[in-house]
Amino acid sequence: MKREIKLTSDGSRTIYLPELDETYHSNHGAFNEAIHIFIEQGIRMFSPEQTVRIFEMGFGTGLNALLTLIESKTRDYTIEYTGIEAFPVEFGLVNELDYCTYLNWDSPEDFTQLHTLTWGEKHQITPAFSFQKIHQKIEDYQPELNHFELVYYDAFGPRVQGDLWQPMILEKMHALLKPGGVLVTYCAQGQVKRDLKDLGFEVVSLPGPPGKREMTKAIKI
């Protein structure tokens, strides 16, 4: 599928899929979206005293993983990060996103490592940040049960990938979280929130990132 680089409103870049008319991040700001949903309402809701095991649905450009690695380095979080991705983006293209320059992050090798490390193996990027990428469809993934504290649910939207927002997949997210674990997503669709509730989550609607009224946080009861 053809992929193009696109500039978003906060000056950060994303990838655009013309055939689906879908972007990897919000047009209102890739960085703004990632930082608001996955960092401020995600990892920063946890104490740096505990290890946080994160599962990301849709590793994509690696922006969420990079921001989380930066959080670990700058705020002393101990993180075990697992990202699943069915259709990896070639490194040449993600490199053009130039996220480290945008973020003024002076260790660009962090981003390179996230993309070039081998799939299917656990890598210790720093003593406090372990990282594993799984090259698989979420539909085929057999989750480790009650293992993760936090899920970044970052699939393409229900308009283009409705199947990934069905109860069968959301149930996997419920199963892999520990009780008290949290799922955060940009999606605020009513049916998705009702399904999450029926699966046993407490569902909270929060203000969304710039350009979006709401986001969703779901806590496994």
Q: Which helix (H) or strand (E) holds 206?
A: strand 201-207
Looking up tokens 């990428």 gives 133
Decide if residue 84 touches ligand SAM (CB under 6 A): yes
Stretch that binds ligand SAM, among 42-50, 149-157, 193-201, 213-221 (CB under 6 A): 149-157
Q: Is 137 in the site for ligand SAM (CB under 6 A)?
A: yes
Indicate which single residue of 10, 71, 85, 195 sits in contact with ligand SAM (rule: CB under 6 A). Answer: 85
Using an 8 Å Cβ cutoff, are 119 and 136 in contact?
no
In the complex, least distance from residue 16 CB atom to ligand SAM, rounded to whole angstroms: 11
Closest approach, Cβ 82 to ligand SAM, in A, equals 12
Instruction: Pick one of 138, 151, 177, 218: the residue that binds ligand SAM (CB under 6 A).
Output: 138
Candidates 84, 89, 88, 86; CA nearest to 172 is: 84
Q: Which is nearer to ligand SAM, 60 or 143 (CB)?
A: 60
Binding mask 6-25 for ligand SAM (x = CB under 6 A): ------------------x-
Comparing CA positions, the residue from 138, 155, 157, 186 lying closest to residue 42 is 186
Minimum separation from the CB atom of position 139 to ligand SAM (A): 6
Question: Which of 52, 54, 63, 192 is in the footprint of ligand SAM by CB under 6 A?
Answer: 63
Total chain residues near ligand SAM (CB under 6 A): 16
Looking at the DSSP bridge assignments, the partners of residue 204 are 217
Considering only residues 192 to 221 of the shown chain, the ones binding ligand SAM according to CB under 6 A are none
Alpha carbons 203 and 78: distance in angstroms, whole number:
26
Asked if 87 interacts with ligand SAM (CB under 6 A), we say yes
How far apart, in Å, are the Cα atoms of 197 and each of 7, 16, 144?
A: 35, 32, 22
Give whichever of 149 and 154 is closer to ligand SAM, judged by the CB atom: 154
- CA distances 182 to 38, 77, 191, Å, are 11, 17, 19
Of 58, 40, 14, 16, which is closest to residue 207 (Cα–Cα)? 40
Contact set with ligand SAM (CB under 6 A): 24, 58, 60-61, 63-64, 84-87, 137-139, 154-156
